[in-house]
Structure formats: C-alpha cells, structure tokens
C-alpha cells in the first residue's frame, strides 16, 4: 500500500449524532450451527462499544491465534484470508474521535465488531446526499466457514451465522438516525464481495484507485430499508 494514497478524512460532512439506538423487534439473534439442527440464539448489539486499549486488547488476545489458525486452514484449501493482517488494537488511537464502534456479543464473547466513521461522506450513487461510512468490519475468526467457497463441502462450519448481517443492519439503522436516509457505504475486501452484493443487496461500484484499489459498495436509494425486512431486523 502506498501511504500517499491513504484516504483523507472528510471535514465538510455532517456529524451523524446517532443518539440512542431504537430497540430491535424482534430481538437480535444469531444462528448457532453447533445445534442440531442449527437454531437461533439471542445476541446483544452494543452501539458505542468501548474503544479503549483494554477492550481492544482483550479482543485481540482471543482473536489473534484463532485468526492465524483460520488463515492456515484456508491456505490448506487454496484460499487466502485477506484480513489476516488486521489488528483492532491498532484502531484504538482513531476512536472515539474518528470512529464509533459497534459489537455483536453472544455467550460472553465479542462475535463481531464494526468501526463506523463519526462524519458522514458524500454518496457516490446519489448526488447531494450523504452516507454513513463503515470503515472496518470483522467477524470473529471462529465464525468463518472453511473453505469460504460455498461450492465446496465445508470442512469447518462457522460457529455463529448472521454476525456480519447484524452489523450491517445496525449500520443502516444508525444512518437513519444520522440523516443519511439508510444509506451506507464501505470499501470491502474481494473475499467479502459475495456477502455485500448477494446477502446485503449493496451495489458494487468497482475498485477505488484512491483507496488501495479496494472495491467500493453502497446502497441505492430505498434498498437498505427493504433489506432490513429481508434480514429480519426492524428499522
């Protein structure tokens, strides 16, 4: 990556000020694949998860060895874990001034975490509108399927499904409270393209030469709120 091409934080956008989150109806849930058959289990979504070094260190102590194990398992099946270099401890210095954190928790552990920028960005799909920008999003390593190519039989199934879905749904809900009209945008790894397009219903706008060549995704007008219903999440 070329440091000179690093994105510049927008300074002219509106502050989202998402305020207190509205309750979920129905309550948030994950799918526990260890049950036979897989069944629903309650989850907690924390908007404003503490961005302290201690909290992020605790996540990395659990996730780092599991992330390395996942990367090795994927390599054995001819795949690469594109997020293998991620470390949430590196993001503590950027929060809470730059980011707000959102976490999905279940069984006393963080199952997924997302960093949302505190400033809105201009939409790339709809002129003169704003999007809530998701800067980072990751599910716990044990919630990944091996191999990720779903045309092949699973060697290891994800422990919990719907983690990424709940995080994206919460970003949509936050954008509603931030006068962004349920619009969110993000740059995603190639490995996650199918998730954002097929599962979340986002529009792929192609590689962004100003952001390390990563692919940019955004919701068209009106689509995100429709997706909340499909994802069984209330606005």
Cα angle, residue 147 at apex, residues 58 and 31 outer, rounded to 5°: 60
DSSP annotation of 23 reads: P
- Average of pLDDT values for 220-231? 82
144 has a pLDDT exceeding 90 = yes
Phi, psi of 47 (to 5 degrees): -90, 125
The pLDDT confidence band at residue 22, using thresholds 50, 70 and 90, is: low
Per-residue pLDDT at 23: 66
| pLDDT tens sequence across 71-109 | 999 999 999 999 999 999 887 666 667 889 999 999 999
Per-residue pLDDT at 202: 94
Q: In the chain, what are the domains?
A: 19-230 (3.40.630.30)
The pLDDT confidence band at residue 10, using thresholds 50, 70 and 90, is: very low
């Amino acid at each position: 990556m070329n440091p000179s091409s690093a994105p510049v934080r927008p300074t002219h956008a509106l502050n989202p000020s998402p305020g207190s989150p509205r309750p979920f109806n129905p309550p948030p849930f994950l799918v526990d694949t260890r049950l036979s058959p897989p069944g629903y289990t309650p989850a907690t979504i924390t908007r404003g998860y503490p961005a302290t070094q201690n909290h992020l260190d605790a996540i990395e102590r659990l996730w780092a060895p599991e992330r390395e194990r996942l990367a090795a398992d994927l390599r054995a099946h001819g795949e690469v874990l594109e997020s293998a270099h991620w470390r949430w401890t590196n993001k503590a210095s950027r929060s809470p001034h730059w980011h707000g954190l959102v976490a999905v928790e279940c069984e006393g552990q963080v199952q997924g975490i997302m960093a949302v920028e505190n400033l809105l960005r201009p939409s790339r799909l709809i002129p003169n509108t704003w999007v809530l920008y998701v800067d980072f999003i990751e599910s716990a390593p044990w919630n990944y399927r091996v191999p990720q190519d779903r045309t092949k039989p699973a060697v290891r199934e994800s422990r919990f499904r719907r983690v990424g879905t709940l995080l994206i749904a919460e970003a949509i809900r936050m954008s509603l409270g931030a006068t962004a009209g349920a619009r969110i945008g993000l740059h995603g790894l190639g490995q996650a393209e199918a998730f954002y397009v097929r599962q979340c219903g986002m529009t792929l706008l192609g590689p962004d030469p100003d952001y390390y060549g990563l692919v940019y995704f955004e919701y068209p007008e009106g689509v995100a709120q429709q997706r909340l219903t499909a994802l069984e999440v209330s606005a």
